[in-house]
Amino acid sequence: MKDYVEKLLSGDRRSAARLITLIENDAPEKQALLHRLYPHTGRAHVVGVTGSPGAGKSSLVDALTGQIRNEGLKVGIIAVDPTSPFSGGALLGDRIRMQEHTTDRGVFIRSMGTRGCLGGLAQATRDAVKVLDAYGCDVILVETVGVGQSELDIMHHADTTLVVLNPGAGDHIQTIKAGIMEIADIFVINKADLDGVEKLVRDIRAMLDSSPRAGDWRPPVLTTSTLDGRGIPELWATIKTHREKIFNNGTRSAVKRKRIQRELTEILQRRINRLITQGLDAGGRFEPVLEEILARRMDPYRAADEIIKQSWKGELSDE
């Protein structure tokens, strides 16, 4: 593992792929690996790409990658695909749609399955971003499987979030229902060669007018077409403008603090939940408390207090 980390930091692609696989498989050495990588992270700009299925997110990521590479920047792409509920295998179609960049040494593409994660992002996505950050990627594009009430987790991973919509698909209605207004830093109307673009742009701008945000960044509404490259240079320029804005006004530092707080909370929740579940199983350390509840000698609230007291004295072991 030590060799993998050292090679990764020197720019070795195979080591990057291997380390992400170890993270995805929740290998025993995962924590030690991330401990060594962490001091080398925090430099990449993470761009989240979300939106309704069929909006052309993968094609947009492909075109945007080409635009970024024109400036000589190193790009990482994490394409999160849905996982089959039967086989547990991901469709992993995004890599197929990005064949143009597979031979470019300045682009690293990785498809990851959601593995049942409700947020639309694989649980290992956050750690995979760390690997690509340490690998030296200047920009990391994270594409989600879609958007919905429970699939807005991208805002907790990205510095800049793109919400991709397409005209004629009722997306203006879906926008309201899904609450995307709160997470979008930039709205992208893709497939601008189709009818209905102007109406969708007007609808989104009207919603922005009726629900103004705090702060000095108003999400712009851009139009793009991956068929002829229309709007792609403007999109990349706007992403860079947003990056400069959040760096200059201190927003990025505040967001990073909240992001780290959320990550730490989730790690603690998973570990505590595992300890409690194991303790309540037959033969577990908390089984006597469960018996007290069954015998009506203790109520569940008092029992929860007792378990918390006992747990806090113990160790929250590694995952």
What's residue 121's pLDDT? 58
Q: What is the pLDDT of residues 46-102, one digit of tens each?
A: 999 988 778 889 999 999 999 999 999 999 999 887 654 334 444 455 555 566 787
For residues 298 and 247, the model is more confident at: 298
Q: What is the pLDDT of residues 159-170, one digit of tens each?
A: 999 999 888 666
Residues 49 and 113 in one domain: yes
Domain membership flag for residue 3: no
User: 49-58, 117-126, 133-142, 218-227: which has the minimum mean pLDDT?
Assistant: 117-126
Domain range spanning residue 308? Answer: 261-316
Distances (CA, A) of 270 to 120, 157, 248, 266: 18, 18, 35, 6
Average pLDDT, the chain: 84
pTM here is 0.85
**Mean pLDDT calculated for residue range 259-273:** 88
Taking the alpha carbons at both ends of the chain, their separation in whole angstroms is 18
Residues 86 and 235 in one domain: yes
What's residue 137's pLDDT? 98
For residues 186 and 192, what is the distance between their CA atoms, to the nearest angstrom? 16
What's residue 276's pLDDT? 87
Residues 164 and 283 in one domain: no
Domain membership flag for residue 130: yes
Domain membership flag for residue 95: yes
Q: What is the pLDDT of residues 101-130, one digit of tens each?
A: 878 899 999 988 765 554 445 568 899 999
Residues 237 and 279 in one domain: no
Residues 231 and 204 in one domain: yes
Place 282 in a pLDDT band, splitting at 50, 70 and 90: confident
For residues 314 and 266, the model is more confident at: 266
Domain membership flag for residue 26: no
**Mean pLDDT calculated for residue range 126-141:** 97
How big is the chain, counted in residues?
A: 319
* Order of strands, sheet of 75-81, starting from the edge strand that comes earlier in the sequence: 107-113, 75-81, 139-143, 45-51, 160-165, 186-189, 221-223
DSSP string, 16-83: HHHHHHHHHTT-TTHHHHHHHHGGG-S-SEEEEEEE-TTS-HHHHHHHHHHHHHTTT--EEEEEEEPB
DSSP state of 225: B
- Which of 221, 249, 277 terminates a domain? The answer is 249
**Mean pLDDT calculated for residue range 202-208:** 87
- Which of 197, 218, 249 terminates a domain? The answer is 249
**Mean pLDDT calculated for residue range 29-38:** 93
For residues 119 and 28, the model is more confident at: 28
Structure tokens at 149: 């009430």
- Please list, residue by residue across 212-242, b when 16 or more beta carbons sit within 10 angstroms of its beta carbon and e when fewer do: eeeeeeebbbbbbbbeeeebbeebbebbeeb
For residues 296 and 215, what is the distance between their CA atoms, to the nearest angstrom? 54
Residues 295 and 170 in one domain: no
For residues 234 and 247, what is the distance between their CA atoms, to the nearest angstrom? 20
- Amino acid letter at 267? I
Residues 59 and 150 in one domain: yes
Q: What is the pLDDT of residues 156-197, one digit of tens each?
A: 889 999 999 888 666 555 555 556 778 899 999 998 888 888
Q: Return the percentage of the chain with pLDDT > 90, whole number.
A: 45
Give the CATH number for residue 85. 3.40.50.300
Residues 85 and 113 in one domain: yes
Residues 72 and 212 in one domain: yes
